[in-house]
Amino acid sequence: MSEISSYDTDISIPSLAQRRNQQANLLDQEPREAILKRALALAAQDHGGEVTTDITDCDGEQIPCLIGLKTPQFPGGVGVTVSRGGHVGFVYDAYGDAMQWGQRIAGEISANYNAIAVRMALMAMNLEVRVKEGKGKAGAKIIQLEGRV
C-alpha cells in the first residue's frame, strides 16, 4: 500500500508550469531551470543515485512527476512537481520509509537549489564566493556560502 507524500518549497519557476514530463532539453531553457537540474545532479552525486524521468511507489506503479532522482537508499525515487503557478515541490512514496529518505533527499535538493542560486547572485554582484560543505546533526548536509568584495 503506497503512501504518497509531498514536500513543498518556496522555489518558483513559472516557465515549468505547463510541462508535465521531461523533454530532451528540459531544464536548459532559463537559469532557474538549469539551477534545478544542477541541484538534482548534486544530490544524485552525493547519494550515488541517478536523475530519472520517472519514479515509482512501493507497488511499482509510476508516480507522475516532471523529473526524478533515484538513489540506492530510496530506490522508488523523489520526483519534481510544478504547480500551475510555477511552484516547485517534490513527491515520493513514504510507505516503509522509516529513515525518511524521501523527505531528506527532497530537502537536500531544495537546499542545493538555494545555495546555487545565492552563489550565482553573489557572483553577479562581483563578489568573491567561497562554498563550504559539511555534515551536521544526524549526517544532514550543511552548505555555507561566504561572499567578499
| Domain spans, the chain | 4-110
Residue 71 is placed in which grid cell? 538513489
Show the cell assigned to 37.
Answer: 537540474
More confident position, 93 or 1:
93
User: Of 103, 97, 89, 91, nearest to 58 (Cα)?
Assistant: 97
Measured N-to-C along each axis, helices 31-47 and 101-124 cross at an angle, to the nearest 10 degrees, of 130
Rounded CA separation 123/110 (Å): 20
Closest-CA residue to 111 (of 121, 119, 122): 119
**What confidence score (pLDDT) does residue 137 get?**
76
pLDDT at 78 over 70: yes
Answer for the pair 51, 71: CB distance below 8 angstroms, yes or no.
Answer: no
Q: How many CA atoms lie within 13 A of 122 on its CB side?
A: 16
Averaged over 72-82, what is the pLDDT? 95
**pLDDT tens-place string over residues 88-106:** 999 999 999 999 999 999 9
Query: Is pLDDT larger for residue 18 or for residue 131?
Result: 131
Position 21 confidence tier, pLDDT thresholds 50, 70, 90: low
Q: What percent of the chain has pLDDT over 70?
A: 90
- Per-residue pLDDT, 20: 55
Q: For residue 13, what are the contacts with CB-CB under 8 A and spacing of at least 6? A: 30, 32, 33, 36, 82, 86, 88
C-alpha–C-alpha distance, residues 35 and 33, integer Å: 5
Mean pLDDT, rounded, for 36-55: 94
Mean of pLDDT values over 4-13: 89
Q: In 3-state terms, what secondary structure has residue 94? A: coil
Question: Sorting pLDDT into bands at 50, 70 and 90, what band is 24?
Answer: very low
